[in-house]
Amino acid sequence: MTDTLDPKITAAPANAGSDENVSRPPQPRPAVVQPPALKRRIPKVSDLAPLMQFKKPEFSKTARLKRASTIWELRDIAKRRTPKAPFDYTDGAAEEEITLRRARQAFQDIEFRPGILRDVSRIDLRTDILGKESRLPFGIAPTGFTRMMQSEGEYAGSQAAEAAGIPYTLSTMGTASIEDVATAAPNGRNWFQLYLWTDRDRSLELIERAAKAGNDTLMVTVDTAVAGARLRDVRNGMTIPPALTVKTVLDASYRPAWWFNFLTHEPLTFASLSRYTGTVADLINSMFDPTLTYEDLDWLRETWKGKLVVKGIQTVEDARKVVDHGADGIILSNHGGRQLDRAPIPFHLLPDVTSALKADNSKAEVILDTGIMSGADIVAALALGADFALIGRAYLYGLMAGGREGVDRTIQILEKDMTRTMALLGVSKVSDLNPDHVRLLQR
C-alpha cells in the first residue's frame, strides 16, 4: 500500500511552533504629546507688538548706499542714476567685450582652500607697496574723464583714498589737474599715470608737475598704441564733453540729478590739456605716441626719480624686459578689456609672471587689475602672488552711485569682503596668503 497525501492537507511550516507567524491584533499607537509651542492659539496683541515695528522709509543718498552690500549692487544704483553714454563708457569694453567677461569669470573659476583652527580674531590688511605702507592691499586705478561719470570725479576718488589710507592714481586724461588733486588730498598718497605723447616736451612738463606736486610714483601705460574699438561709445555717439542731442536730452529726463550737477559745476578740464572736443578714440589716436620702444622707457627711468611702474603688461617676456629696463613694478593689465579684445587675462597670467620674476631674483613688485568686483577677488590675487591690486570700474560704480560717499562705500564693501574671506581662510594677515589657499578650476 502506497502512502498518498491528501491534496487538502499541506505540510506545516518548519517554524509553525514559533510565535513569529501568530496573527495578533494591531496594537494601538501611543498618543503623541504635542509641544505647547505647536498648539494653535489666537495671538495676543502683546505678541504682535514686537513684530509690527515698521521702519520709516529712507530715501537719502546715505541710506541708498548703505543698502548696497556688493559692488554689483552699487553698479545697479549707478546705472539708474547715470546717463547711458557715461555709464557705458565706464561699464563697456572693446569689440565683443569677451576679454572683460573672461576676466571676471577667471575670479569665479577658483576654489578657496581654507585652513582651520587658526586665530583669526584680528585681521590685518596692511601691506607695503612701492616703498610705503598701504592700510589696504589695493588702490584706485587711473580713469579718464572721471568728472563726466559724476561731478565730484577725481576729487571724490582722491579724498576717499586719502581717508582710507590707500594710493590714488590720477590719469593723464583725468578731469582735474595734478595740482588740484594734490590740494584736495594733501595727506594722501598720490600717484600719476602717464601716457607718452608724440610731443615729448608736453610729457616732460607733466612729469615735472607730478614730481612738484608730491607724487611718489609714476605709472606709464603702454597698451594704447591706438584706441580700442569701444563699440558702446560708438553707438552712443560718445563725445567729450557730452553733446546735448535729442537722444541725450530724452535720456536726461530720467536722470535729472546728473545733468543738474554736470551743468552747474565747472566744465570738464584735463590734467594734460585745457579743452578738447571730439570722440575719445580720436583723442587717443591724435595725441598718444604709437612709436614707443624700450628706449622711451629708458628715458623715463632717467627722467623720473621716484618709483616707476609699467601698466599694460600681458606676457611673461614683457614683464621681464621692463624690469630689466628699470621698472620698480609692473601692472598686469589689459586695460580693463578696453583695448585688445581676447587679450590675456591678468589673473591667469599672474602665477607665471611671479614665478619668472622670482627665478630672476627680481625685487620688482607685481600689481594686478581688471575684473575685480569683490574683496574675495583681491584675496585670490594676493594668494596667487600679486603684491597689490588696483580697482577701476568698481570705484567708478560707487562714484556714479553717490559721489564721494559712494567711493567710500566701495572701499568699505571691499574691505569687509577681504576681512571675512581671510578669516574664513584661516589667515590673519596679507603676508600669510600663498598659492596653497587658491586652486584654479578647469572649465
Does position 313 have pLDDT exceeding 60, yes or no?
Answer: yes
> Is 366 strand, coil or helix?
strand
Does position 67 have pLDDT exceeding 90, yes or no?
Answer: yes
> Is 74 strand, coil or helix?
helix
Q: Is 85 within 8 Å of 242 (Cβ atoms)? A: yes
> Is 178 strand, coil or helix?
helix
Q: How far apart (Å, rounded) are the C-alpha atoms in residues 66 and 71?
A: 12
How are beta strands 127-129 and 132-134 bridged, if at all? Answer: antiparallel
Average pLDDT over residues 150-174: 96
Q: How far apart (Å, rounded) are the C-alpha atoms in residues 204 and 6?
A: 121
Q: What residue type is 331 in one-letter code? A: I
Does position 74 have pLDDT exceeding 60, yes or no?
Answer: yes
Q: Would you call 265 a catalytic residue per the annotation? A: no
Task: Tell me how far CA of residue 182 lies from CA of 16, 216, 219, 261, in angstroms.
Answer: 102, 12, 17, 23
Q: Please identify which residue in the block is written with the cell numbers 552699487.
A: 74
Average pLDDT over residues 173-183: 93
pTM value? 0.86
Q: Is 230 within 8 Å of 338 (Cβ atoms)? A: yes
C-alpha torsion 209→215→216→219, nearest 10: -80
Residue 162: half-sphere exposure toward Cβ, Cα within 13 Å: 16
Q: What pLDDT was estimated at residue 285?
A: 65
Q: Is 375 within 8 Å of 394 (Cβ atoms)? A: no
Q: How far apart (Å, rounded) are the C-alpha atoms in residues 388 and 377?
A: 12
**DSSP class per residue in 219-233:** EEE-S-SS----HHH
Reading the block at residue 382, the C-alpha cell is 594676493
pLDDT category at 226 given cuts 50, 70, 90 is confident
pLDDT category at 278 given cuts 50, 70, 90 is low
Sign of CA dihedral 56, 61, 64, 67: negative
- Pick the more confident residue, 92 or 242: 92
pLDDT category at 105 given cuts 50, 70, 90 is very high
- Pick the more confident residue, 265 or 30: 265
Q: How far apart (Å, rounded) are the C-alpha atoms in residues 369 and 371?
A: 7
pLDDT category at 283 given cuts 50, 70, 90 is low
Sequence-ordered alpha helix ranges (H) in 185-275: 200-212, 231-236, 246-252, 256-263
b (16+ CB within 10 A) / e for 238-252? bbbebeeeeebeebb
Q: What is the pLDDT of residues 388-438, one digit of tens each?
A: 999 999 999 999 999 999 999 999 999 999 999 999 999 999 999 999 999
The whole-chain average pLDDT of the chain stands at 88
Q: How far apart (Å, rounded) are the C-alpha atoms in residues 411 and 273?
A: 30
Q: How far apart (Å, rounded) are the C-alpha atoms in residues 82 and 248?
A: 11
The candidate with the shortest Cα–Cα distance to 82, out of 150, 131, 145, is 150
Q: What pLDDT was estimated at residue 356?
A: 97
Does position 368 have pLDDT exceeding 90, yes or no?
Answer: yes
The dihedrals phi and psi of 194, each to the nearest 5 degrees, come to -120, 130
Reading the block at residue 215, the C-alpha cell is 607724487
Q: What pLDDT was estimated at residue 240?
A: 62
How are beta strands 110-112 and 438-440 bridged, if at all? Answer: antiparallel
DSSP state of 25: P
- The β-bridge partners of 191 are 169, 217
Helix-helix angle 346-359:98-108, to 10 degrees: 70
Average pLDDT over residues 216-233: 90
Reading the block at residue 222, the C-alpha cell is 603702454
The candidate with the shortest Cα–Cα distance to 262, out of 171, 351, 173, 149, is 149
Instruction: Determine which one of 265, 335, 348, 437 is catalytic.
Output: 335
